[in-house]
Amino acid sequence: MSQPIYTHQFENGLVLIAEPMDWLESAAFSLLVPAGCSRDRDDRLGLASLTCEMVQRGCGSRDSRQFVSDLEMLGADTSASVATAHCSYGGAMPAESLLETLAIYADVVRRPHLPSDQLEDARQVCIQEIRSIEDDLAQKAFQELRWLQYGNPLGRSSPGTLGGIEAAVEDDVRHFFQATYRPNGAILSVAGKFAWPRLRDRAAELFADWPAQPLPDVEDSPIAERIRHLPQESSQTHIGISYPSVPYSHPDYYDARAAVGVLSDGMSSRLFTEVRENRGLCYAVQAYCHSLRDRGCVLCYAGTTTERAQETLEVVLAELQKLAAGIAQDELDRLKAKLKSSLIMQQESSPARSNSIAADWYHLGRVQMVDEVRAIIDGLSREQINLYLASHPPRDFRIVTVGEKPLEIPVGIS
Amino acid sequence: MEFRKHTLDNGLEIVAECSPHAYSAALGFFVKTGSRDESDANHGVSHFLEHMAFKGTATRSAADVNRELDEIGSHSNAYTSEEQTVYFAAFLPEYQAQAVELLSDILRPALRPADFETEKLVILEEIAKYEDQPPFGAHEKCMAAHFGSHPLARSILGTAASVTGLTCDQMMEYFRQRYSPRNIVLVASGNVDFDALVALADRCCGRWPPFDAPRETHRAPPHRGLQVVHKPAAVQQYVVQISNGPALEDEDRYAGRLLATVLGDDSGSRMFWELVDPGCAETAAMGACEYQGTGLLMTQLCCAPEDTAENYARIRDLLAEADADGVTDEELAQAKSKIRSYIVLQSERPVNRLFAVGGNWITRRRYRTVREVIDSYLRVSRDDVAAVLKKYPLTEHTTVAVGPLQDADQIVGA
């Protein structure tokens, strides 16, 4: 029972998309501005994150304490994060708080104070994050893997580097803000309980006079290195493997997604069965599709004790390569049941739908309704997926290991 | 929403919060058993048994269980805590019968020796995974130090040595002592057909033999002390501190939770403004945790080793100040607003209601609506919070530090 999705594009380029979910008492929003880490200067890696931290330290008529306290009194559970292309602000709240919360976020992205006396505090917050990732070995493996897969700047990790964060001065933050916080390329999505005319009118008051500015393209360059080992005293070896795949906007995307689902979705998936159930090599093993606007990849992770890491790497790689031979009908049937139930359960969560429609707009320039996605899932066929796999077999692997010993990479793998 | 309950002849209780308009349903067997019901000889058996439930039954192999859970498109899993082992699935309403039948069956696992040995390897990997992951066991070590000879001192996963030493016979014995229908509640939420649920549960579980499964629930004596665990490979220093708090059955647990929110929520709390917002610490947070007969308030700190003593002193001052002066009306109102909104947002998903309804029933044999729970928080006054502080002084605590620092002086100051 999907409902219509409302769309409104303002003259300055900002897109407002909204999906009514009248059966909920909540509403959620996502506000994406084109201020992702791919726009960091090479000598200021982490500037997007530092700017994201700074814009939340007072905006409009509120200082930083008032900002947090007003959001909490509205019952808004909010978050902010920096990704490759965007900085995203979002939150879920009781439906009646939506418009007031949006007004606060209009101040965040348009009228932040960027207070000089808080720059050092914000810098320290960013440094804490970088240091903490050093202790999270699985995340560290993923960070390196994305770098090898996508290169500079698309494979960067958003927290940046200690050098970049330490070098940043007040003007860097100001310039980054002025250059990237803009309506063209920005997306505001809302899902949950709301009245469309009021939402559209309020959004117009808040954002319609936000001036557009040109947004330069991001140049990118690949990385030649394909295998990397980071020595680390640890109990487990953390293995990350990636290979190229089609992006979300590609007509074959759902075939690629289904193939990865057979590998990793559910307890009867191939990786879970072969690596964990049959051999007991891992507690955690998984693979999933990752997509940028014009390219994508499959990211795979396994964590295993040092002495069993070589076998784990070989078993995972063998499963990835075996995928080229195709999938079975019963595997596809189970996957369809799982994908469909996930899709329907998304309708019980306003933040899930809000994120999903914002991502749709960014990747596709339109929103896929729940019924449309359901039809795509119903239409998936084993023949089509196997044709896709035959022409796009998993290969050109990038491999990152974090642990006590480097592993031997089987010949012909990368 | 309608609350329904029924008890089978063998004592198995079935409780449900039925919402006929929900998109999905959720089902869970809540077994009142966990690490606190173990001994040194079978430490880790509750969690290991939870894994073994998915390894097959008299009529199903492990592969059958995994495949069938995926065939109904369910999001199923299980977890073990100090006091509960919960097996659950979220699914679309048309799969209710299959879900009941399948989950009931895995509650009578075959415990085959070959599966036991393979799964032991997975558990050892899980233990190794947590050893590699921040806060590097600080939580478990602090629980052990704080609870001393009390059963809550035992970690949920067990240790590599205790799990290695476990035998299949010990697990069988534990199962025979704990998995009585009198010690299990079948809980359902969302779009559930209650009458059909009862009829099928009677067929699937009605012949499980009943017996008593008592639990030791004496209150834990307060402990004090500081333990420093040297981990040179860590970048950050991790400190966990535990003081006593309200127990599950205590009415003042709502005041305890509000107190933790005021002092140590991850945003807008005293610790947030004092330590996280200025970037002095990556984490400085407090949470409340209740058990049968006892409870605790836990503070966690993660920061650079060289800043630890200073941050520790700030936390010590914050706690002393709270002990002396309590909280303000404004802080209490803000905390109530946050908790209220959190509860409302969470309750939109049947799977979240499953844990709320099940947790309440298994520990207190009571059903409480979302409204009733919110009202219990709203009724808390400053005096109630002051009473909690008087009964459980925050300055009496057990502390464990894990990271590059070696000496107590480097944590608490010379």
Chain segment A18-77, per-residue pLDDT in tens: 999 999 999 999 999 999 999 999 999 999 999 999 999 999 999 999 999 999 999 999
Residue A59 lies in a domain: yes
Question: Residue A83's pLDDT is what?
Answer: 97
Q: Could you tell me if A258 and A316 are in contact, meaning their C-beta atoms sit under 8 angstroms apart? A: no
Q: Identify whether residues A245 and A185 lie together within a single domain.
A: no
> Percentages helix, strand, coil for chain A, rounded to the nearest 5?
45, 20, 35
- At a CB cut-off of 8 Å and minimum separation 6, what does B127 contact? B157, B158, B159, B160, B163
* Interfacial B residues in 318-357 facing A (CB < 8 Å): 333-334, 337-338, 340-342, 344-345, 348-350
Task: Give mean pLDDT, residues B344-360.
Answer: 94
Phi, psi of A358 (to 5 degrees): -65, -40
Q: What 3-state class would DSSP assign to A17?
A: strand
Cα separation, A408 vs A94, whole angstroms: 54
Mutate to test the interface with B, among A98, A135, A370, A374 (most CBs of B within 10 A): A135
HSE (CB half, 13 Å, CA atoms) of B52?
A: 25
DSSP 8-state class, residue A59 = B
Percent over 70 (pLDDT), chain A: 99
Q: Which residues 131-160 on chain B approach chain A with CB closer than 8 angstroms?
A: 131-134, 136
Nearest to A303 among B129, B235, B273 (CB): B129
Same domain? For A277 and A183 the reply is no
Residues of chain B in contact with residue A64, where contact means CB-CB under 8 angstroms, are: 277
Nearest CA in chain B to A233: B233
Domains of chain B: 2-205 (3.30.830.10), 225-412 (3.30.830.10)
Q: For residue A128, give the nearest of B91, B273, B279 by CB distance.
A: B279
Residue A360 in any domain: the answer is yes
pLDDT at B46: 98
CA-based torsion, A320, A324, A329, A332: positive or negative: positive
Residues in B closer than 8 angstroms to A306, CB to CB, are none
CATH number at residue A191: 3.30.830.10
Residues A191 and A233 in one domain: no
Rounded to whole angstroms, how far apart are CA atoms A290 and B385? 47
Distance linking the first and last C-alpha atoms of chain B: 59
Residue B53 φ then ψ, to 5°: -60, -30
Q: Would the pLDDT of A1 be above 60?
A: no
Planar angle of CA A66, A71, A74, nearest 5 degrees: 125
> How many helices and strands, by DSSP H and E, does chain A display?
15, 11
pLDDT at A132 (0 to 100): 94
Q: At A216, which amino acid appears? A: P
Give a yes or no: residue A283 inside a domain. Answer: yes
Q: How far is Cα B252 from Cα B270, in angstroms, rounded to an integer? A: 21
Average pLDDT of chain A, as a whole number: 96
Rounded-to-integer distance, Cα A109 and Cα A14, Å: 12
Tokens of B275: 């330590």
Is A409 within a domain? no
* Amino acid letter, residue B138: A
pLDDT band at A412 (very low <50, low <70, confident <90, very high): confident
Q: Is the alpha carbon torsion for A64, A67, A73, A78 positive or negative?
A: negative
* Domain closes at, from A156, A177, A207: A207
**Centroid of chain to Cα B183:** 18
Residues A13 and A75 in one domain: yes
Residue A267 with chain B: CB contacts under 8 Å? 54, 65-66, 69-70, 76
Give the tokens for residue B370: 């979302």
Note the pLDDT of residue B223. Answer: 76
Q: Across the interface, do A65 and B76 touch by the CB < 8 Å criterion?
A: no
Which among B24, B123, B280 has CB closest to A348?
B24
Residue in this structure with the two tokens 């914050």, named with its chain if needed: B318
Query: Distance, in angstroms, between A136 CA and closest chain B CA?
Result: 6
Measured between CB atoms, does B21 come within 8 Å of chain A? yes
Average pLDDT over residues A328-352: 95
**Residue A350 sits at the chain B interface (C-beta within 8 Å):** yes
Which residue range is the domain that position A119 belongs to? Answer: 6-207
User: Does A413 have pLDDT greater than 90?
Assistant: no
Task: Give phi and psi for A311, each to the nearest 5.
Answer: -65, -40
A414 in any annotated domain: no
pLDDT band at A278 (very low <50, low <70, confident <90, very high): very high
Distance from CA of B399 to the nearest CA of A (A): 21
Same domain, yes or no: A191 and A269: no
Of chain B, the percentage scoring pLDDT greater than 70 comes to 100
Q: Are residues A364 and A306 in the same domain?
A: yes
Rounded CA gap, B181 and B250, in Å? 26
Burial level of A403, CB count in 10 A (0-12/13-18/19+)? Answer: buried
pLDDT tens figures, B254-286: 999 999 999 999 999 999 999 999 999 999 999
> What is the pLDDT confidence band of residue A3, given thresholds at 50, 70 and 90?
low
By C-alpha distance, the chain A residue nearest B71 is A334
A106 and A180: one domain? yes
Q: How far apart are CA B20 and CA A356, in angstroms?
A: 26
> What secondary structure letter does DSSP report for B61?
B
- Using a CB–CB cutoff of 8 Å, tell me whether A333 touches chain B: yes
Q: Say yes or no: A68 contacts chain B, CB-CB below 8 A.
A: yes
Does A328 reach chain B within 8 Å, measured CB to CB?
no
Cβ neighbours of B203 (radius 10 Å): 12
Q: Which residues of B touch A235 (CB under 8 A)?
A: 128-129, 131-132
pLDDT of residue A2 exceeding 60: no
Instruction: Give yes or no for a contact between A158 and A48, defined as CB atoms under 8 angstroms apart.
Output: yes
Residues in chain A: 414
Chain A residues touching residue B277 (CB < 8 angstroms): 64, 121, 125
Same domain, A172 and A99: yes
Question: Which residues in chain B have their CB less than 8 angstroms from residue A69's CB?
Answer: 268, 334
Q: Are residues A134 and A100 in the same domain?
A: yes
**Beta carbon pairs, A and B, within 8 Å:** 186
Angle in degrees, CA B39, B40, B46, rounded to 5: 55
Tell me the CA distances in angstroms from B296 to B98, B134, B243, B340, B407, one per residue in order.
Answer: 40, 21, 6, 22, 26
Q: Has residue A1 been placed in a domain?
A: no
Token pair of A173 as six digits = 């933050």
What amino acid occupies position B323? Answer: D
> What is the pairing mode between strands A236-245 and B283-291?
unpaired
Q: Is residue B280 within 8 angstroms of chain A, CB to CB?
A: yes
Mean pLDDT, to the nearest integer, of B313-334?
A: 97
Amino acid at B381: S
| Count of the separate structural domains present in chain A | 2
The pLDDT value given to residue B218: 86
Length of chain B: 414
Shared domain check, A119 and A188: yes
Rounded CA separation B137/B127 (Å): 10
CA distance A215 to chain B (A): 32
Cβ contacts of B75 on chain A, cutoff 8 Å: 341-342, 345
Whether A118 is covered by a domain: the verdict is yes
> How remote is the C-alpha of B391 from its chain's centroid?
24
- Looking at A278-411, list the stretches that DSSP marks H as alpha helix, in order from N- to C-terminal side: 309-322, 329-346, 350-364, 370-379, 382-391
Residue A267 has pLDDT above 90, yes or no: yes
B164 to chain A nearest CA, in Å? 14
Please tell me which of the candidates A121, A232, A335 has its beta carbon nearest to residue B279.
A121
Q: Is the pLDDT assigned to residue A393 strictly greater than 60?
A: yes
Record the tokens describing residue A213, joined without a space.
């500015």
Contact B282 A344 (CB under 8 A): no
Q: Do A65 and B267 touch (CB under 8 A)?
A: no
Q: Average pLDDT, stretch A148-169?
A: 97
Average pLDDT over residues A188-208: 98
Tell me: do A392 and A249 sit in the same domain.
Answer: yes
- Establish whether the linkage from the previous residue to A159 is cis, with ω within 30° of 0: no
DSSP H or E segment with residue B331: helix B329-346
DSSP alpha helices (H): ranges in A56-169? Answer: 64-73, 98-110, 119-135, 137-150, 162-167
Mean pLDDT of A365-377: 94
**Closest of A110, A103, A121, A50 to residue A80, by C-alpha:** A50
Residues A201 and A231 occupy one common structural domain = no
Q: Is the predicted ipTM greater than 0.90, yes or no?
A: yes
- Closest CA–CA distance from residue A130 to any residue of chain B (Å): 10
Check if B69 contacts A (Cβ < 8 Å): yes
What the block records as the tokens of A313 is 């790497």
Check residue B220 and give its pLDDT: 78
Name the residue among B22, B69, B276 with its Cβ closest to that of A267: B69
Q: Does A128 touch chain B (CB under 8 A)?
A: yes
The predicted structure's pLDDT at residue A414: 61
Out of A172, A207, A242, a domain closes at A207
* Beta-sheet strands, E only, within B231-325: 237-245, 283-291, 294-303
**Average model confidence (pLDDT) for chain B?**
96
Q: CB–CB of B74 and A123 under 8 A?
A: no
- pLDDT value of position A124: 98
At residue B1, the pLDDT reads 87
**B261 — contact with chain A (CB < 8 Å)?**
no
Mean pLDDT across the stretch B86-114? 97
Question: Is A66 part of any domain?
Answer: yes
Candidate from B118, B125, B304 with C-beta closest to A131 = B304
pTM of the model: 0.95
Three-state DSSP string of B199-233:
HHHHHHHCCCCCCCCCCCCCCCCCCCEEEEEECCC
Q: What whole-number percentage of chain B has pLDDT above 90? A: 96
The pLDDT of B299-304, averaged and rounded, is 98
What's the pLDDT score for residue B360? 94
**A82: closest CA of chain B, how far (Å):** 17
**pLDDT over threshold 90, residue A197:** yes
pLDDT for position B224: 83
Chain A's closest residue to B22, CA to CA, is: A348
Q: Which of A173, A207, A241 is the last residue of a domain?
A: A207
**What crossing angle do the helices spanning B96-106 and B194-205 adopt, rounded to 10°?**
30
